Amino acid sequence: MSYSFDLLGVTPLINFFEYQQKNEQDPYRPKTYIGSYNCTLDSFIDAMDMIPKKPEWDWDQVVEKMVQFWVRHEDRVRACEDDLNVDSDEPQLVIARVVNIEALRDNFELLFDV
């Protein structure tokens, strides 16, 4: 399988929680989102344990993609760190998206099978 990892930005904790409750219940979904209080590789790896209805993916390959992202996109990591460090009245999380590319492709192909 092939995977993609991307940092999306910072959002209030409650927004992320509500999104997960509505949209992250299908264990066969092609993508999932990870939230972390810290913008570090270790914190995102640890946060994978908190994914609801965790898909049956090769999570070692996902970690490899995360490491590759961290090495290649230092500017994006720094931007998220800066956004996270902005004072806010409510708890904030850095959000990342993990995509199973093959499953996403299959979902798109279903759109054309009607």
At 59-82, the pLDDT tens digits run 999 999 999 999 999 999 999 999
Helix (H, G, I), strand (E, B) or coil at 34: strand
pLDDT at 34 over 70: yes
CA atoms within 13 A on the CB side of 62: 23
Residue 20 binned pLDDT confidence (cut-offs 50, 70, 90): confident
pLDDT at 96 over 80: yes
Helix (H, G, I), strand (E, B) or coil at 20: helix
Considering the entire predicted model, what is its pTM?
Answer: 0.87
Q: Which of 24, 43, 40, 21 is nearest to 32 (CA)?
A: 24
Q: Across the chain, what does the average pLDDT equal?
A: 90
Helix (H, G, I), strand (E, B) or coil at 7: strand
* Alpha-carbon torsion (89, 93, 94, 96), positive or negative: negative
> Domain ranges in the chain?
3-111
CA atoms within 13 A on the CB side of 89: 0
* φ, ψ of residue 99 in degrees (nearest 5): -120, 135
Residue 11 binned pLDDT confidence (cut-offs 50, 70, 90): very high
Q: pLDDT at position 114, please?
A: 62
